[in-house]
Structure 1
Amino acid sequence: MEEFQLFAFLVALIVLFCGLYFTRNKLTSRGNIKLAPSPPTLPVIGNLHQLGHLPHRSLWELSTKYGPIMLLKFGSKPTLVISSAAIAKEILKTHDLAFANKPVMSAPKKIFYDLKDLVNLQYGEQWRKIRSIFVHELLSSTRVKSFNTIREEEIDLMHSETGHGKIFLDKMDDAVALLFNFTIGEFVPWLGWINRLNGFNACLDKYARELDEVLNAVIEDHMSRGTSSNGDEDDGKSKENFVDILLGIYKGNTPGVSIDLISLKAVILDALGAGTETSTTTLIWLIPFGAGRRICPGLGFAAISIEHTVANLMQKFDWALPHGAKGEDLDATERPGFTIGKKEPLIVVPTKSYF
């Protein structure tokens, strides 16, 4: 994916230096409006060249010079960057309604069924409806407790399969790379053709198609398993997982709640992505759950799952770094992504505990 971004950037520079397009920085003064401090911009690309390989570090370095509130220009899109916990609280909690919507980007739009999922859906009635399904039907305290049996089975399976989950995590990394790839066409619309030329759109289409096939197979599998041999609905409620619950809503089994097939697949994708890659990152690395009305609805579920996982891993295994390495030898360099992970995978060696 880095090749896509580099190629797009080089083409933009060629266009820039050939003099095909120049733009003025209109963010310096607009009437009597007092704007936040801004670093100098380049024509066309604005401040994109200042993001670097690890954008969060680049933005922090800029904030040490321009302050905790900065106004940057990513192509044609003005972007307010906050680097203060106190100001972030004001935005995410006190004034969160004003910032409740998210920008429309091509990769999430393609992967998440035209942004029909909870994470990317624009704030409004449909967002409240989908969130209600998450909070009341999937992630209520009663539901979370009902997943205890499944959690125990998955933890036991993880113990027997420790060290063999790399293939699945690699697949999740593919999705994260696509979602995080800031292509020049997102920020300079008239250069959107570059995404076709460098193959990014084709790659995105291929991944979205393959992902849809997987989700269709998952739904078909659960639909076929949801009916017993005598044709009656399976009454094993204690064994229901997210997909089973959502399919019940889709089939009209939950009064007062409804969901269409596209939204169903988008929500499943949220549950699989936000419920696995982020939990894995938290187990290895930090990451908060957001704040305000768009705070992660899975906070309670994730906290129990992560605590349960860590407790079992600590109880049943002793852990060490490979080849006799010590804690200070651990490479803690970040890698960019939808969530910030480690550049080098966390590799630890388990030995069976006697307790």
Structure 2
Amino acid sequence: MSFTLQLFLVSSLPLILALLLLKSLYFPSKSDKNLPPSPPKLPLIGNLHQLGSSPHRALHAMAQTYGPLMLLRLGTVPVLVASSVDAARDIMKTHDIIFSNRPKLNIPSILCYGSKDIAFAQYGEYWRQVKSIAVLHLLTNKRVQSYRHVREDEMALMIEKIRDTHKSEVNLSELLISLTNNVVCRVALGRTYEGRKFKSLLERFLELLGCFSVGSYVPSLAWVDRLTGLERRADEIAKEFDEFFESVIDEHVSKKFVGVESQDLVDILLEVQRDNSTGFHIEKDVIKAIILDVFAAGTDTTFTNLEWAISELLRHPQAMKKLQQEAWEIGQGRPMITEDDLEKMAYLKAVLKETLRLHTPIPLLVPRESTQDVKLLGYDIPSGTQVIINAWAIARDPSKWEEPNEFRPERFLNSPIDYKGLHFEFIPFGGGRRGCPAIQFAMAINELVLANLVYKFHFTLVSEEDLDMSESIGLTVHKKRPILVSATSCS
């Protein structure tokens, strides 16, 4: 080899290496695997830059180009995005066991006792045991019905608060979150915790749970989460919640407080721990993690569904009128609509279903992870692939829903489609083994509250700006602007 050629190779080495790197990123070598389509990606961050401020909308738009199954690269993590009914069915039913694991995510792990809760725990014997405890001891139909008086008490208090405004401005969003928080507190902890500090703690917890952690997707850049203070904030909130739950458990053990409900969730979990009736030892951290799940899901998603439902009714006066007519016929002038009346309110149920369809509380659900290689709609999905199901996009699929962007509760009248995870065109609570186990608990609150609000009051928007339906993005999608109304008694 001549000296000139050697010199050329040495001087060109950096350029050659850069070209090889780019080739591997943009033109990967052919493999015998039939992988789903993938959009172009950038070095290191992959497709992260394409998610934007509304990931469910961005992924929906990308699916129009790349199809109902896309394979993205978020940092160093392969992520499968499913945006069709068939894909959702295969993931949550046909191959449910393979896709029942959860990926290890840094912030949920910090906040939820090392992911010892039900939502983020790894699939396996531990998860099966804690879910079984929740389903058999906390969320049975009998147990949910036993808290009926709590829901009706808090509903009556909310009606009085609205009446006391004497037609002046009412922040309905604030009242709704207060009601759901009080119901969950009484059911879970035995009494209310209404202080601003407690509500702030819950808000900060939910905000962080929806934050993007660089370290979860680019492990080599985990230091960024420390530099930005994300890990520090998560540690602080986890510590605050732990101290709060520690004091709650101490109160229950010693019964220091008065005015206790008959038996709350902490009582039940302590009883299961004491009797060891399941054969599975429940540590104190597990009790805290389960109660934390009840708070995060029970308060946030329930309040969100109510807020969007009322917003849509205010935007659609004909639907509001139809629901009020149903409520007045059922209530017949009585002080309140009770839970015994709700089964007869078909339009009420249709309004809440349509709200869940248009405004799926957790639009991308909670991520899953494949535990072995599997075929999905003809594509090869490698083990260890993170899976995102875009429930929001599926609920707006024009091939499954007529005029999918329109609020039309009538579509659910005389329809068998329900939200319990068996109809994959409508999965606001997920489905399969990892579906939400607290659907009945949440919907009992939603139905009672919405029925009584429209039964007791006429609402008028304070400003046309309050019709703004902009979203505030996090793990749960909230309405950005609160609902400000004046309320006039119907009687």
**Both proteins in one fold, TM over 0.5:** yes
Partners of 2:210 and 2:476 within 8 A in 1: no
Structure 2 segments unaligned to the other structure (5+ residues) = 1-17, 163-173, 179-195, 309-355, 361-427
User: What secondary structure sits across from 1:350 in the alignment?
Assistant: strand
Give the match's secondary structure for 1:251.
helix
Indicate if the aligned counterparts of 1:133 and 1:257 stay in contact, CA closer than 8 A: no
Seen in structure 2, the aligned counterparts of structure 1 residues 183 and 227 have a Cα distance that, compared at 3 Å, is closer
1:199 aligns with 2:229: yes
Match of 1:156? 156
Tell me the alpha carbon deviations over residues 65-124 of structure 1, each in whole angstroms, 9 at most, x when there is no partner: 111111100000000011112211221122111110111111100000000000011111
What is the match of residue 446 of structure 2? 306
The answer to whether the Cα contact below 8 Å between 2:458 and 2:490 also exists between their aligned partners in 1 is yes
Identify if the C-alpha distance between structure 1 residues 299 and 202 changes in structure 2 by more than 3 Å, giving closer, same or farther. same
Residue 284 of structure 1, aligned match among 283, 289, 307:
307
Give the Cα–Cα distance (whole angstroms) in 2 for the partners of residues 337 and 47 of structure 1.
19
Task: Please tell me whether residue 185 in structure 1 is matched to residue 215 in structure 2.
Answer: yes
Q: Which residue of 1 is the match for residue 480 of structure 2?
A: 343
Q: Does 1:244 align with 2:278?
A: no
**Structural mapping, 1:1-355, within 5 Å:** 24-25=24-25, 28-29=28-29, 31-161=31-161, 163-164=174-175, 165=177, 167=196, 170-225=200-255, 239-252=262-275, 254=277, 258-285=281-308, 286=356, 287=360, 288-323=428-463, 325=464, 330-354=467-491
Query: Is the partner of 1:276 in helix, strand or coil?
Result: helix
What's the CA shift for 1:307? 0.9
- Bigger drift between 312-321 and 127-136 goes to 312-321
The equivalent residue for 2:413 is none
* Deviation (angstroms), 1:222: 2.5
Task: Tell me how far 1:132 sits from its aligned partner.
Answer: 0.9
1: CA distance, partners of 2:302 / 2:27: 39
Per the alignment, in what secondary structure is the counterpart of residue 484 of structure 2?
Answer: coil
TM-fit CA distance, 1:255: 6.4
In the superposition, the TM-score normalised over structure 2's length comes to: 0.61
CA distance in 2, matches of 1:256, 1:149: 33
Larger radius of gyration: 2
Aligned residue type for 2:446: I
Which of 1 and 2 has higher RCO (CA within 8 Å, sep 6+)? 2
Say whether the 8 Å CA contact 1:46–1:76 is kept in structure 2: yes
8 Å CA contact 2:75, 2:218 repeated in 1:
yes
Q: Which runs of 5+ in 1 are unaligned?
A: 1-18, 229-233
Partner amino acid, structure 2, of 1:245: I
* Counterpart residue number, 2:397: none
Counterpart-to-counterpart distance in 1, 2:489 and 2:251: 36
SS at match of 1:25: helix
Structure 2 CA distance, aligned partners of 1:158 and 1:29?
A: 63
Q: Give the Å deviation of 1:148.
A: 1.5
Deviations 1:144-170 (A, max 9, x none): 111112222222333345645575665
How far the C-alpha of 1:38 sits from its partner, in A, is 0.7
Q: Which amino acid aligns with 1:348?
A: V
TM-score for both structures, normalised by structure 1? 0.83
**What CA deviation, in whole Å up to 9, does each residue of 1:245-283 have, x standing for no partner?**
112222227565642101000000001111111111111
State the one-letter code of the partner of 1:252.
D
Deviation at 1:61, TM superposition (A): 1.2
In 2, the alpha carbon distance for the partners of 1:226 and 1:241 equals 15
Q: Percent identity over the alignment? A: 41
Aligned length: 324
